[in-house]
Structure 1
């Protein structure tokens, strides 16, 4: 079984059940499955075959679902790419990933008109029409499209396909998706996820969160990100739920769709919850249909979690995952007490443990590296055997995240191993300092990094977004009340906003680059 065959089965069992809603339009599982069949066979008619690599440069839309599942049904490997990446980033991923076909927004046509000569392996481009693209196309000459080999529209590929397409036999170990990591430590690496990886993690997540056909799940996280792909797309579709597609995140759009469609599940990163909490137009009654909120992608400050739950009267279950694990390994359980600040316990079929530098498990409360084992762990990095051997040892995936456990088996992320600050030989974890500052009533957002220090090797530097006039000395004094002297920030810089990636995750590396460290 895989995500494509599971969706086909759901379409047979519940053909009229609504699969997704998008900007006033809804499609049933029967209609979605037919479109997936048509698109998969249309790709095959173009010369795309099992094992070929297809890149998706799309936003949140039905195009993404049909493109993703259509490629999976054909047995092609999907490489999701952030459509707002720079030309250099796009070229690197498409070339490194041996991409044969690109499915892209029409807004990207002018970009690929310039880039296609640098992409010799790409044979076909499939263009998806958008309202903005149609408007801009009025001013563009039709001749520009002729520079692309085998250019087609998404609609024409669908029309050339057949609704009763079954596709080739897929093996559990076949590569379904290659997810390129953000490249914080160098060039991006392509994590190869198999059909078994995706199916098992989606199924285990859906079961863990008790998703069923009555659920309506808000998908406003970017679909090209693995958090959305598994938790807000594959898991709901696995169990016959309805996905409410939100093209791009804004507090107003989330409040609107949750209230209008009586959504039951919302998934977001901590920054999204912060924006929702700060939004003046948000009302508790707008979220009364939600049975569960899910947070991941980054550690959620405890103060933010508690303030959000108090204001909107809804539980947030914080979890943990990474691209190399499809991604989920932990969630706060729904049938036991949720522990604020914890990423919860291991989900079914997945093992997590905390180890020292020798790979030995450490006692409860002691900080070490989190490692993971289970059917969700990637096959390896694409064309990078040495990196794969370093990341996966004796069947365990080494995450690079520092963590600890408690006596009840709950895990706590302390920080990224590479983000740890060493002040005079003492370890300082940025999250610990951030948690303190998030408790200050005037702090909206905060990020902590290490900077060079002549006396202590490194010092703690904070970047803060505040909502009222508050001084550096006031915040440093506030930290002195809760932190050991070596953990107290040596300086605080105020910004209008913190740099973030497209999922809303705060980018510490961008702040370090700003400082030249």
Structure 2
């Protein structure tokens, strides 16, 4: 069994059931199956075969769902790409990923002209219409670009037949997800049909998803967190997706109230914005049975504030692209521990080890490593990087963690983000938790910067409610709660913190800000 077959089965069993709502319009599982089948045929008509690569430059629209499942249906490999990446970032992935066909939002139509010359291996571009005047932009293309470009609606209108799913093996690559490239050029994590299916199946079971669930899909669907938790797992269970084109607190509250949403998944920044949104009515979330946080560590104070305000349980989990992504979640049928990423999900093993790969005692900090059917088969065209990441069947995550006596794991920080002050280890998250507990701090991030006397020094960046609060006051607040060497040497007050498309705070950008200033 794989994702394509499982979701297709839902269409056969309950064709009238709504698969997703988008901009007020519902689409049934039966309609989704038909559209996927036709688009799959259109991709074959473009010359795509099993094993070929399709770039998906798409956001949170039905085009992404259709394109993803159509690509997997013909045995091709989907490569989701953030559509707001720079031209250089997009170019690198298309070139490195050996992309043959690109499916893109219409806002990227002007880039097709450049792409036709830069990427001779790309056989065609399919443009998805989401804004007015697409026809005019299309007409402005050169004749050479026009011959390689088609509009999504035209492709579907001119394709009347469907294709059955191509037979694939569990080890065949279904998706290549390029990592954010925080340590250099992005690496393409190859996720197999077996990887994606097993993680979606196990996450769906772990979170007790059913066909009655209505899941808010506002996380960027090209990101692995969304791909499994708010797309694949719900569709496998016959649930209904509530697709939000972008994250907006006002729109999320309206969506939740209109469709009686039962599950919300987001990154900590989203939880913070929802909590801070003054017009947010807790009644809008009265049908939520579960809120899921991932992508970064959720401050404990924010978790408690959110739960108290909206009367909904928040369960934090953990994952990474290379693991499809989920490895841990706080259980729904047992104690939820604030600050913990929970326990290993079914079929997945997590372990905390030292530099030699030996498991460390309970309570000690080490690197988190993971093993299971969800772990990637490797990085695309990078065997050396693969050998570093996967050793003896275990995926080395690069995250520092510890485990308690009951098997709950706690992320301490990224291995590369740890700050060493005069020989003492300082974990940014610990300092951030203290800052977040201050009643006037909205957001906080901590990084280590070079220091002449101590090697590194703790630098903090905060966004405040009350602009009259001074850095000195915040330092005094921290000094009362943590040892002196952990107290930020410098605290800068910003209007907002730099974030990526998933809402994760970009520590690297903060370091660059400090270097420039």
Please confirm whether the aligned pair reaches a TM-score higher than 0.5, indicating the same fold. yes
CA distance in 1, matches of 2:202, 2:323: 13
1:146 matches 2:166:
no
| CA distance in 1: counterparts of 2:56 and 2:212, whole angstroms | 30
SS state at 2:141 partner: helix
**Is 1:352 the counterpart of 2:375 in the alignment?**
no
- 2:33 is aligned to 33
Contact persistence 2:106–2:134 (CA under 8 A) = no
- Say if 1:357 and 1:70 are closer, same or farther in 2 by CA, change over 3 A: same
CA displacement, residues 92-142 of structure 1 (integer Å, 9 cap, x when unaligned): 000000000000011111122223322122111001001x2x24654x471
User: Which segment is superposed worse, 177-186 or 40-49?
Assistant: 40-49
Asked whether the equivalents of residues 20 and 28 of structure 1 are also in contact (C-alpha less than 8 Å), the reply is: yes
- Which residue of 1 is the match for residue 52 of structure 2? 52
Matches within 5 A, 1:383-402: 383-402=381-400
Q: Is the 8 A contact 2:191 2:324 kept in 1?
A: yes
Give matches, 1:42-441, under 5 Å: 42-130=42-130, 132=131, 134-135=132-133, 138=136, 140=137, 142-144=139-141, 146-148=143-145, 149-441=147-439
Alpha-carbon distance in 1 for matches of 2:138, 2:313: 52
Q: What is the CA-CA distance between 1:510 and the residue it aligns to?
A: 0.7
| Aligned partners of 1:87 and 1:115 also within 8 Å | no
Kindly indicate whether the alpha-carbon contact (under 8 Å) linking 1:319 and 1:328 is maintained by their aligned counterparts in 2.
yes
Change in CA separation of 1:240 and 1:141 when aligned onto 2, cut-off 3 Å: closer
Q: Matches of 2:144 and 2:310 in 1, distance apart?
A: 53
Does structure 1 retain, via aligned residues, the 8 Å contact 2:109–2:138? no
3-state SS of 1:446 partner = strand
State the match for 2:443 in structure 1. Answer: 445
| Kept after mapping to 1: 8 A contact 2:315/2:336 | yes
The residue aligned with 1:472 is: 471
Shift in Å, 1:159: 3.1
Q: Indicate the SS of the match to 1:462.
A: strand
Instruction: Work out whether residues 38 and 160 of structure 1, in 8 Å CA contact, stay in contact via their aligned partners in 2.
Output: no
Q: How many residues align?
A: 514
Does the Cα contact within 8 Å between 2:443 and 2:497 map onto a contact in 1? yes
SS in 2 for 1:144: coil
| 1:309-338 Cα shifts (integer Å, max 9, x gaps) | 000000011000000000000000000010
Distance 1:195 1:297, change over 3 A: same
Structure 2 CA distance for aligned equivalents of residues 226 and 6 of structure 1:
19
Offset, 1:516: 2.7
Q: Is the 8 A contact 2:400 2:413 kept in 1?
A: yes
Q: Distance in 2 between matches of 1:444 and 1:395?
A: 41
CA distance in 2, matches of 1:183, 1:413: 21
Change in 2 beyond 3 A, CA 1:145/1:250 = farther
> TM-score with structure 2 length normalisation?
0.98
Q: Following TM superposition, by how much is the alpha carbon of 1:391 offset from its aligned partner in structure 2, in angstroms?
A: 0.0
CA distance in 2, matches of 1:455, 1:466: 30
Counterpart of 1:6 in structure 2 is 6
Partner of 1:27, secondary structure, is strand
Contact 1:343 1:412 in 2 (8 A): yes
2:20 alignment partner in structure 1: 20
Q: Spell out structure 1 runs of 4+ moving beyond 6 A.
A: none
Deviation string for 1:391-422 (max 9, x for gaps)?
A: 00000000000000001100000000000000
Deviations 1:251-288 (A, max 9, x none): 00100000000000000000000000000101111110
Alpha carbons of structure 1 residues 322 and 209: separation in structure 2 relative to 1, 3 Å: same
Q: Which sections of structure 1, spanning at least 5 residues, go unmatched?
A: none
Post-superposition CA distance 1:335-365 (Å, at most 9, x none): 0010000000000000001000000000111
The answer to whether the 8 Å contact 2:41/2:162 transfers is no
How far apart, in 2, do the equivalents of 1:322 and 1:147 lie? 40
Task: String of CA shifts for 1:64-114, please: whole Å, max 9, x gaps.
Answer: 100000001011100000000001001000000000000001111112222
> Residue 50 of structure 1: SS of its match in structure 2?
coil
**What is the rounded CA distance, in whole Å, between the counterparts of 1:493 and 1:335 in structure 2?**
42
User: How far apart, CA to CA, are the structure 2 residues paired with 1:4 and 1:156?
Assistant: 24
